Amino acid sequence: MEISDENDETPTFAYVAYTFGTFENQPAGTEVGTMAALDRDLPPYNEVEYQLQGNDAFQIGHYSGRITAKSPLDRETKSEYHLRVVASQRGITGSSMAAVKIVVADRNDNQPRFLFPAVANDSVTVARCRAGAPVVRIIARDVDIGANAALRYQLIRDLPRVGNQAAFAINPLSGIVTVRKILDNAEYLLHVQVRTRCILEILTFCSINSSEYLTPVCM
């Protein structure tokens, strides 16, 4: 006796939730992941159709279940997407749904920006301090994350110099500027560079005024 198949099974996902990941700035059409639901009917009754709900950044192959990005993603704008995938089968009223989370990973694509000194106010007045004393901290920020946001500071030059030696030094990790020798009563112009691991960099200028008439209190 042969039992004929009927189109009576609803396609189902193996899990109720899935997580995929992709990098930002990938070209449109980049695959994020593939969804697969099982219909236990025999061909041709086991052909599953997929639809995406709750998004405008991704699309899904109607029969392949392949999720792709419609355009390049920007992690700094949005780092996670939460979607719903519906699996159905033509001729069957029932359907299955699965939640999908897409995590956008970071690329080192942003230039660090200085928070201090500000463009409108780039000067600091300090007392004449002992050698090695901290006088100011340069602060920058990179909107990337993790190692891509690790900053390193560098003094390109400082003018005038004390004798033949640079008047200041900067901690490459903290941005704290220290005095190398006792300062003259003068204005010192510092050229500071901050960079991440890549070639992105930016320069700023910081004027430090030294005066013996101030109360000698340093950072």
Residue 202's CATH number? 2.60.40.60
Residue 3 lies in a domain: no
Verify that 139 and 198 share a domain, yes or no.
yes
- Residue 195: per-residue pLDDT: 87
Residue 60 lies in a domain: yes
What tokens were used for 205? 């200028």
Q: Is the pLDDT at 50 greater than 50, yes or no? A: yes
Q: Indicate the pTM of the whole model.
A: 0.78
Residue 169 lies in a domain: yes
Verify that 137 and 192 share a domain, yes or no.
yes
Query: Which of 85, 105, 125 is a domain's end point?
Result: 105
Verify that 173 and 127 share a domain, yes or no.
yes
Q: Is the pLDDT at 157 greater than 80, yes or no? A: no
Q: How far is it, in rounded angstroms, from Cα 166 to Cα 78?
A: 44
Q: How far is it, in rounded angstroms, from Cα 154 to Cα 173?
A: 9
Query: Which of 70, 105, 140 is a domain's end point?
Result: 105
Name the amino acid, one letter, at 65.
G
- Residue 78: per-residue pLDDT: 96
Residue 72 lies in a domain: yes
Verify that 144 and 81 share a domain, yes or no.
no
- Residue 196: per-residue pLDDT: 85
How many domains does one find in the chain?
2
Verify that 119 and 203 share a domain, yes or no.
yes
Query: Which of 105, 135, 152 is a domain's end point?
Result: 105
* Domain containing residue 55: 12-105
- Residue 121: per-residue pLDDT: 72
pLDDT mean over 66-72: 98
Q: How far is it, in rounded angstroms, from Cα 128 to Cα 161?
A: 15
Please tell me which of 9-23, 33-47, 118-132 the model is most confident about, judged by mean pLDDT. 9-23
Residue 1 lies in a domain: no
